[in-house]
């Protein structure tokens, strides 16, 4: 049973750590875009497109963590083995 | 972690068919797109109105985006990119209606889309440059080539992975968040999340099509 408790903890803590890094990275990106638009409002369209691509790239890190968390929670490959060991 | 009741799944169960929910809902999206395109192009008029007006605005917007990102060369890839954009957008927005399941919230659909982009970029590159396409993988300096080849191969192989996982993670994550909030406070709390879902649907469509365009444009340009 302890195995499943650790699984839930790993998913939660992992998602939190992943969100910290992604949040800081996206914040920097948006800061740069805001400064760029404030200096040259004419280029806002192009800045928006570039920022969106960058944000999607940064965001995919958090998405990987999310996918791993979901695998740990719902599709853990070791669940069957642990349940077998518990039944013994 | 999807909507508790999916009506197309219910129909297939009544008919004793064993089809995944992402397949049935992909069929639904295909039907929607075919019917809307048919209605829009059935009686073309010089001054558009109704469905034709809507589709002209959508297609014109995508065409402008392609020309902005890929230049004149990109016009040849307009059918593919526009199909990606329309299909993914309709799939994503379908998930906001109760009783519907977004096919993009299943990894199989996204891997099919991402592998299409992956294969196409290399086919286009080999068609355009012939054997010289290998220069794209060699890096700028000759004696660095063995190192660069490995790095470039890994980065190219990571493209379909990141392309499919990004779309899948966003759509599936949205479904999960929605279901959790629905279980906690079913009354008004899911509404802001659904509003954010509209935003996510549009942004992810935009990102997928833009990255597909950038990858194709990268295969088309000369190696440096």
- Which residues of chain A register pLDDT less than 70? none
- The verdict on B206 touching A (C-beta cutoff 8 Å) is yes
Domain segments of chain A: what residues? 2-87
pTM of the prediction? 0.86
ipTM for this model: 0.78
Domain segments of chain B: what residues? 7-220
Q: Do A53 and B210 touch (CB under 8 A)?
A: yes
- The verdict on B168 touching A (C-beta cutoff 8 Å) is yes
Q: Do A64 and B165 touch (CB under 8 A)?
A: yes
% of chain A with per-residue pLDDT over 70: 100
Residues of A with Cβ-Cβ distance to B203 under 8 angstroms: 52, 56
Nearest to B165 among A53, A60, A74 (CB): A60
- The verdict on B161 touching A (C-beta cutoff 8 Å) is no
Distance to chain B for A36, nearest Cα, Å: 20
Distance to chain A for B168, nearest Cα, Å: 9
B96-A70-B117 Cα angle (round to 5): 65
3-state SS of chain B is CCCCCCHHHHHHHHCCCCCCHHHHHHHHHHHHHHHHHHHHHHCCCCCCCCHHHHHHHHHHHHHHHHHHHHCHHHHHHHHHHHHHHHHHHHHHHHCCCCCCCCHHHCHHHHHHHHHHHHHHHHHHHHHHHHHHHHHHHCCCCHHHHHHHHHHHHHHHHHHHHHHHHHHHHHHHHHHHHHHHHHHHCCCCCHHHHHHHHHHHHHHHHHHHHHHHHHHHHHHHCCCC
The pLDDT of residue B58 is 87
Class of CATH domain A2-87: mainly alpha
Chain A, chain B: beta-carbon pairs less than 8 Å apart: 35
Q: pLDDT tens track of chain B, all 224 residues?
A: 566 777 777 888 788 877 888 888 899 999 999 998 888 888 777 777 777 888 888 888 888 888 888 888 888 889 999 999 999 999 999 888 888 888 888 889 999 999 999 999 999 888 888 888 888 788 778 888 888 889 888 989 999 998 999 999 988 888 888 888 888 888 888 888 888 889 889 888 988 998 899 898 888 887 66
The pLDDT of residue B138 is 80
């Amino acid at each position: 049973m302890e195995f499943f408790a650790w699984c839930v903890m790993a998913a939660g803590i992992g998602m939190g750590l992943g969100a910290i890094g992604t949040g800081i990275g996206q914040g920097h990106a948006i800061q740069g875009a805001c400064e760029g638009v404030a200096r040259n409002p004419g280029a806002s369209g192009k800045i928006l497109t570039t920022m969106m691509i960058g944000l999607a790239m940064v965001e995919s890190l958090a998405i990987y963590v999310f996918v791993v968390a979901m695998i740990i929670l719902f599709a853990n490959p070791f669940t069957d083995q642990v349940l077998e060991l518990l039944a013994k | 972690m999807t909507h508790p009741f999916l009506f197309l799944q219910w129909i297939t169960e009544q008919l004793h068919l064993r089809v995944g929910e992402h397949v049935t809902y992909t069929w639904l999206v295909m039907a929607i797109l075919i019917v809307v395109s048919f209605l829009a192009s059935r009686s073309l008029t010089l001054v558009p109105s109704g469905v034709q007006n809507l589709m002209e605005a959508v297609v014109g917007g995508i065409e402008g985006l392609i020309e902005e990102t890929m230049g004149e060369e990109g016009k040849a890839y307009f059918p593919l990119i526009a199909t990606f954009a329309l299909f993914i957008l309709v799939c994503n927005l379908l998930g906001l209606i109760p009783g519907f399941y977004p096919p993009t919230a299943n990894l199989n659909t996204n891997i099919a889309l991402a592998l299409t982009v992956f294969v196409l970029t290399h086919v286009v590159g080999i068609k355009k440059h012939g054997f010289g396409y290998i220069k794209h993988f060699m890096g700028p300096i000759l004696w660095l080539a063995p190192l660069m080849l490995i790095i470039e191969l890994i980065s190219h192989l990571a493209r379909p992975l990141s392309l499919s996982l990004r779309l899948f993670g966003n759509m599936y994550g949205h479904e999960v968040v929605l279901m959790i909030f629905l279980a906690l406070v079913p009354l008004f709390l899911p509404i802001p999340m659904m509003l954010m879902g509209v935003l996510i649907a549009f942004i992810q469509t935009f990102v997928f099509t833009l990255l597909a365009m950038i990858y194709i444009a990268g295969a088309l340009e000369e190696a440096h």
